[in-house]
Structure 1
């Protein structure tokens, strides 16, 4: 108490304590002197004035402390930091929810994209693409969008798998490795010439075995059998590998369990190329009248092209897709024989296929002309067909294509299976399946609430949405070990060359195409190793590829709003294709059967024209105002529908239960939704020429952000965009 009194008593002049000069005293000595001085001071504290001062000190300190505490409580209460209705644990829980963020590695990558690709010097109401993606090229080298970037990553994963060359119990994986090894050998300069010589010799022998008049002086017209000849020469054509070429016609499956037959798109009209290819195979055994034979092949090919062009491609689906297979087969009775020969179960599966075959673009009237051409001169026909086969075999060389890409292109399903088995988070499957159903539900809700469509249109549209089939990632039937091996039955010998391996893969691929139509194989040709999703008009089905359900576009740990913004819009886009200017002609079973009320047609066309005009007038970052919406209208309609239903799905979320993205704790989730949606299409300046872009069916990446969100009223509200600003135009284009 003496110390407190000393420190708080008002200062009075007292005699200064002095210490003798001389050597420094010890600490004890000093304390004693201080105590003595204090004691002396107490002797003079009995005056009334001193007693009153003492009382002030004793009562003033607690009063001061009380006032300070009250003031502090008032300040805290004013700032809203005290919740008097909650106990301490409840307050902590509320605080925890307010700042909860997703901290998985995948969410951190998403945060990286949102932070580092964003250019906040750009006004989002003027150019949301630049705002969201302005610094994309500072962090990426891929010339296209994120989806393309993911596809490049997939290629690297397959390349690493092939280079490891580890043993596997899977026949299809071993086929992949065998193809990769023989491809690499074909490029080895030390043995390249030897391999090429052997390849040419095998091709020559195959052609002779089939019966090639120009190389066989003993050939006779009486030996000509068109069906047997065609059975020996089919080849998978390049591209999506869903088309089989027979030289005088093609057959293909359109991502559905159906077969279309149409005129050939192959052409052999260049004299120099045809002659050079024949000499490459026959060498000194080429006939002396080769020039005349080459001219005959050229003329035959030109006549086929003329037949192909005799009836222009019609906009009338009744002309495009005709259910008249029996008549076609009667006109040229080879089709049933050829298709049965490609079915792994032959005639046993014919009953499941024969009613799924259609003529394409008035093929019935063209097949009669083809028949007349074929039988006009059997020798020329045989020379042409065997040459067609030989020219396709000559392409079985890797050339400048990297060998891992050769594997991916020719064995897409096994390549996809390797990705799923080694790199795919299967936890995403259930999430995406649920998301598809949520988007479907929102789509139906949109149709139910549409104010301009009539009841016939509404009923048909809803029926189609409900019936739409889906495949997520990979059919479950192929998940079982050895399931793909069973269907993809390729018998390889370790000594098989690159050429022989490719021939066997081609044959197996053709079998799988037909087995898909007969339902003896669960997977169609539309499944490829790419980050994408597709809609089939002819099957009324959507297919979500596994790579799309993977980082960076999607992950099971993402908050729900990030999942919807990432691939929910894409899922809605694919469903939307069932309602674009082409899709409205097909019913819920993928059959040409318009369900749209004719009275709604004009309004529907006006809405499509709105999008077309919007794209025509769009000032693109790479191409300016030189774009043509006529060729991209289907994709723009699907984009608009996809965003509409995705936003409806987003609005059903309880955002208080959603985790935030690191670094965006203070941002509204609505803003995050739009920014995440924009990053899907982030890309640098387009590497395409204007002419190349004009030939694409998809609009530019920047329009898929700016054009899309400018039509969304909620975007303008979220970012407070002034009316009439680029991202909040007075006239907005919508569909339903």
Structure 2
């Protein structure tokens, strides 16, 4: 045996002991690890792991997808814990990339207005009657804006008096005026003459009454006096003051009759029934004068049973581009879609509405608290909800929209005042054509605004073109991105059919209580949770000063919208869709909330608190943090501890 062998053998027992000791220590450490892993998860973490990343089918590299990726990457603030403030985590650097002072969702409203203005500035020739009418009005408005304001005011007052004289003798000036000669109803009566030179838009047959204040009467008196002075007409100031006071008294007397109870019982009646109440007025003749002359009789037959509804006049901005969009919304819509819009989006949006509808119905079917009668009525209402996707296909037919511009002729030689009143006359006729079924969509400014809307009295959903356009929606987007981007908006508008007021109308839009007393009470209890949540929400711009009772309908629609959107999103086969650049390894559930939240990104809200408290919509911050915090799926996706701001112990839910 060599010395080396002896040495090795003599050390062997120590080596063995050392190895055994190491193994024992390793075994002990392993047992500790296993023991710790076998302990139940602490209640501060969600039980379900987030969805794992998926292998996508390539990467979407279209310009629209690049824009979406830019927003996801550059608007977020990675220093913010999403479980603490998801709104800030997604939108924290939004103000570094946008000049808008309102939510990103409204971006395209301004963009479309600018596109239309630029189109009209190009002075392109067109055979379209609607486009040419809009162009003439635009040019008149622009020319007026360049004029001296004093001269504009002078011209307008001269035309007003000229208009009054066309109607007939003015009692304020003509003391020999004879009431018995005043012909209101006749073939050549006052109403017809007024109609020929001036008209105002109506959304229904509107009776607009309000108490006249002291300021109103003073302004009216001032305007009358200025009109007379400009036209070098002699007048008796005391007589005018007495007449103005009489007008104010009449307005106030009418307003006093117009209580909520009176509105329900007296005003909501067919026009033909008003004849019985006031037989001295020929309502049929007067009302027909509001319609397109070629369709007067047919429109009357369709609308004579409609109720008269008090309503405010539409607000018209004094900026030319906004005024054009207000008075010519359908002409503007046609120009935008035909020249600047990806029409492939229309069919994709229509398909998405149906998918959202299916998942809303599924939500009602899976509800654990709705009684069967209520459940079936809710499902029926969702099934029968009508939809309008941005742009009626019939408008693609050459001359189709021009048919609704044929009754009024615009001329380059006319004054702006005359052109403006002709445009209002045309707008009124188009509203009548819409309510009588000749026009498939209303001449409503919302059709060229970014968003969607629900009409409870029709049980109808409308998706507006600027919403189903990039950066919110595009045919090149992966399907999941389209759903995450505007699925919540679609679900929200559908949800208005089941919010605190919408639920009180049936599938035809008629007022009807189709809820069992038990379900109605449970619904109120659940929406009270939202009210309390908003009242206690610490908003970054308004603090704990918000009123949930004012915004509860919108919050209910938000909660419905996000739920059905996520349900739709989770049914997508992500492996067949491309990824978003830079988010190839992002987990699908996280990406859903990131994309959805982008719509509500905005800079600091500078709206006065007093104004905010009058608004029906909650703040942008709450529409992310408040709504998302009610979803278990959010807490699970981001592994938020129970009790953290985005995973509160108490959550609000509806169905």
Provide the TM-score with structure 1 as the length reference.
0.76
Which residue number corresponds to residue 554 of structure 2? 635
Equivalents in 2 of 1:610, 1:231: separation in Å?
55
Which residue number corresponds to residue 165 of structure 2? 208
Aligned counterpart in structure 2 of residue 657 of structure 1, from 576, 586, 603: 576
**Is 2:386 the partner of 1:498?**
no
- Retained in 2: the 8 A contact 1:268–1:297? no
Aligned counterpart in structure 2 of residue 622 of structure 1, from 516, 521, 541: 541
Q: Which shows bigger deviation, 222-231 or 670-679? A: 222-231
Which residue number corresponds to residue 509 of structure 1? 427
- Retained in 1: the 8 A contact 2:434–2:441? yes
1:228-281 Cα deviation digits (max 9, x unpaired) = 4344446666xxx5x3xxxxxxxx43xxxxx5x545248475343112211232
How many pairs are equivalent?
A: 588
Matches for 1:353-368 after TM superposition, within 5 Å: 353-355=303-305, 357-360=306-309
Aligned counterpart in structure 1 of residue 299 of structure 2, from 349, 370, 377: 349
Aligned counterpart in structure 2 of residue 589 of structure 1, from 476, 491, 508: 508
Matches for 1:653-732 after TM superposition, within 5 Å: 653-732=572-651
Equivalents in 1 of 2:265, 2:479: separation in Å?
45
1:630-678 Cα deviation digits (max 9, x unpaired) = 1111111111111111111111111222221101111112111100000
1:149-177 Cα deviation digits (max 9, x unpaired) = 22111121112112111111112211222
- Retained in 2: the 8 A contact 1:236–1:506? yes
Shift of 1:687: 2.1
Report 1 or 2 for greater relative contact order, CA contacts < 8 Å, sequence distance ≥ 6: 2
Secondary structure (helix, strand or coil) at the match of 1:185 reads helix
Equivalents in 2 of 1:588, 1:502: separation in Å?
39
Secondary structure (helix, strand or coil) at the match of 2:388 reads strand
Aligned counterpart in structure 2 of residue 229 of structure 1, from 172, 190, 204: 190
- Retained in 1: the 8 A contact 2:272–2:283? no
Which residue number corresponds to residue 130 of structure 2? 172
- Retained in 2: the 8 A contact 1:146–1:683? yes
- Retained in 1: the 8 A contact 2:56–2:574? no
1:131-157 Cα deviation digits (max 9, x unpaired) = 000000001111001122221111211
Q: Which shows bigger deviation, 530-539 or 493-502? A: 493-502
Shift of 1:594: 2.1
Shift of 1:104: 0.6
Shift of 1:97: 5.3
Which residue number corresponds to residue 356 of structure 2? 439
Secondary structure (helix, strand or coil) at the match of 2:159 reads helix
Equivalents in 1 of 2:210, 2:475: separation in Å?
44
Secondary structure (helix, strand or coil) at the match of 1:542 reads strand
Which residue number corresponds to residue 228 of structure 2? 282
Equivalents in 2 of 1:622, 1:236: separation in Å?
43
Equivalents in 2 of 1:567, 1:594: separation in Å?
31
Equivalents in 1 of 2:467, 2:87: separation in Å?
21
- Retained in 2: the 8 A contact 1:263–1:308? no
Aligned counterpart in structure 1 of residue 486 of structure 2, from 546, 567, 584: 567
Matches for 1:510-529 after TM superposition, within 5 Å: 510-526=428-444, 527-529=446-448
Equivalents in 2 of 1:350, 1:359: separation in Å?
14
Aligned counterpart in structure 1 of residue 391 of structure 2, from 474, 479, 503: 474
Note the residue ranges of structure 1 that are not aligned, 5 or more in a row. Answer: 1-94, 244-251, 254-258, 364-391
Aligned counterpart in structure 2 of residue 331 of structure 1, from 277, 297, 300: 277
Secondary structure (helix, strand or coil) at the match of 1:213 reads coil
Which residue number corresponds to residue 102 of structure 1? 60
Equivalents in 2 of 1:491, 1:478: separation in Å?
21
**Is 2:436 the partner of 1:488?**
no
- Retained in 2: the 8 A contact 1:631–1:695? yes
- Retained in 2: the 8 A contact 1:723–1:729? yes
Shift of 1:343: 2.3
- Retained in 1: the 8 A contact 2:328–2:443? no
Equivalents in 2 of 1:687, 1:291: separation in Å?
47
Which residue number corresponds to residue 161 of structure 1? 119
Secondary structure (helix, strand or coil) at the match of 1:632 reads helix
Shift of 1:287: 5.2
Relative to structure 1, the CA distance from residue 298 to residue 734 in structure 2 (aligned partners, 3 Å threshold; closer, same or farther) is farther
Aligned counterpart in structure 2 of residue 112 of structure 1, from 70, 80, 87: 70
Q: Which shows bigger deviation, 288-297 or 407-416? A: 288-297
**Is 2:97 the partner of 1:147?**
no
Equivalents in 1 of 2:520, 2:634: separation in Å?
29
Q: Which shows bigger deviation, 529-538 or 214-223? A: 214-223
Shift of 1:294: 2.9
1:22-58 Cα deviation digits (max 9, x unpaired) = xxxxxxxxxxxxxxxxxxxxxxxxxxxxxxxxxxxxx
Note the residue ranges of structure 2 that are not aligned, 5 or more in a row. Answer: 1-52
Relative to structure 1, the CA distance from residue 715 to residue 179 in structure 2 (aligned partners, 3 Å threshold; closer, same or farther) is same
The structure whose Rg is larger is 1
Secondary structure (helix, strand or coil) at the match of 1:470 reads strand
1:158-206 Cα deviation digits (max 9, x unpaired) = 121121111111122112221121122213347x665554433322121
Shift of 1:96: 12
Shift of 1:305: 3.0
Secondary structure (helix, strand or coil) at the match of 2:454 reads strand
Equivalents in 1 of 2:213, 2:127: separation in Å?
43
- Retained in 1: the 8 A contact 2:173–2:235? no
- Retained in 1: the 8 A contact 2:211–2:251? no
Shift of 1:359: 4.3
Relative to structure 1, the CA distance from residue 326 to residue 172 in structure 2 (aligned partners, 3 Å threshold; closer, same or farther) is closer
Shift of 1:282: 2.0
Which residue number corresponds to residue 264 of structure 1? 209
Which residue number corresponds to residue 48 of structure 1? none
Which residue number corresponds to residue 79 of structure 1? none
Equivalents in 2 of 1:401, 1:639: separation in Å?
33
Q: Which shows bigger deviation, 705-714 or 330-339? A: 330-339
Equivalents in 2 of 1:542, 1:98: separation in Å?
33
Aligned counterpart in structure 2 of residue 313 of structure 1, from 252, 257, 260: 260
Equivalents in 2 of 1:282, 1:342: separation in Å?
29
Secondary structure (helix, strand or coil) at the match of 2:642 reads coil
Equivalents in 1 of 2:390, 2:458: separation in Å?
17
Equivalents in 2 of 1:119, 1:505: separation in Å?
48
